[in-house]
Every structure is written in C-alpha cells, then in structure tokens.
Structure 1
C-alpha cells in the first residue's frame, strides 16, 4: 500500500512556492491600482521596438539565416555546457573520455567549417 503522507512535504513546498509567486506577481499590480500609479495613456500603450514605432508588418517572415545563426548558437552553447562537466570528471573517465570528447569537438569543428564555407555566418 502506498503511503500518501510521504508526498505531503512536496505538496506543501509547491503550495508555498505558488503562494509566494502569486504575491510577487499580483501584489505590485494591486498596489499600483490602489495608490493611483496605474495611469495608462495612449503613449504608454503604444507599440514600440528599439525606441521607435514599428514600420513593418509584424507577421513578416524572418530570413532563414536568422534561424541558422540561432541553431548554430544553440549547438555551440550546448558544446560549452558539455565541456565543463567533462573537464571536471576527466580524472575518472581517463583516455576514453578524452578521446570521446575530442571526437565530439572534431565533429562540431567540421560543422562550423561547413557552415562557414556555405556562408551561413554571413549577414548582409
């Protein structure tokens, strides 16, 4: 039989976290309404981007190069995230861990060279 009392600390933790997050979200909004600082004007509610009104349709398509650069950033960011634990555990993994990581870095280097040659990093 499962003892549901074991889950009480988890439920208590989730309840406290939910209550604190609600306080941080809704208390400032309520205080601003009560103190009179909530004063929306047309200028405050206007759309802006980089300090000036938008001059293009917001549903325009992005260039494919934007997505390629974003994907390359994610790939190399993940590489950095894998390098730190690997460097810490290198004493335990030995030569097999070192070889595996060099193969991984080599594959990423080949991918970077390919993206560079194709022109995925060029921005016009």
Structure 2
C-alpha cells in the first residue's frame, strides 16, 4: 500500500459565513467520507482541520540567503488548504471517487498526492539528536 495526502482546498470565507445547517452537512460529509473509505479498504492514518490561513506564519529565504518571517498565508488566494487526511491505499482512483463528497461548495477542491517514503533514508530524528548532543 502507498500513502497519500488528501489536501482540502476551499474558500475560507464560505466556511466562516456558513450557517449551522451547512456546517452540519459538511461534518456529515466527513463522516460519510470516513465510512466509505474504510468500507472500500482504504486506511485513514490521520487528518485534521487547519486553522484559518491568516493565522499562519511563513518562513522563507530571501534572495541573499537570509530568512524572513511573515504573518498570513503562503499564497494570497481565495482558496486555501483548510485540512487534510493521510490515507493508505492501493486504489488511488477509488479514493478520488470517495473524496468527492468533501468538495462541499462550488470551487472547493480535494488534491490527492502520494507521499514519498523516505523510511530507508537517514533517520532524521536520530541525526538531529546527535547534532544536538542528545543521546
């Protein structure tokens, strides 16, 4: 099985302005997604709703090699990543059919991307601990 990240893109204002009936419909869609995914043999490894993009902190390198920190989203766009799921599956096409239930308003999108397995690479945690002098 391979692991995929499902990124949930939508207009944050649509969610912030949604009435309670719409919010309940979206919550139910997430329950339906989980039930259908599990029923189809996909394994949900985790997932979370993200806080609004305006709460983000972006750290980037400038053209002279220095780091800059800024408040707000990485990209100024109407649609932002609002949440994610990590899903293990042998059937990404089947997963794509099931995630359709999560595109709750016009313009909402679900992006499915494979996660590259670096488990055979250097153990970054052990390497960081060694660099910090922690045993």
Do both proteins adopt the same fold according to a TM-score greater than 0.5, normalized to the shorter chain? no
> In terms of Rg, which structure is larger?
1
Question: TM-score when scaled to structure 1?
Answer: 0.27
Question: TM-score when scaled to structure 2?
Answer: 0.25
More strand by share: 2
Greater RCO (CA < 8 Å, at least 6 residues apart):
2
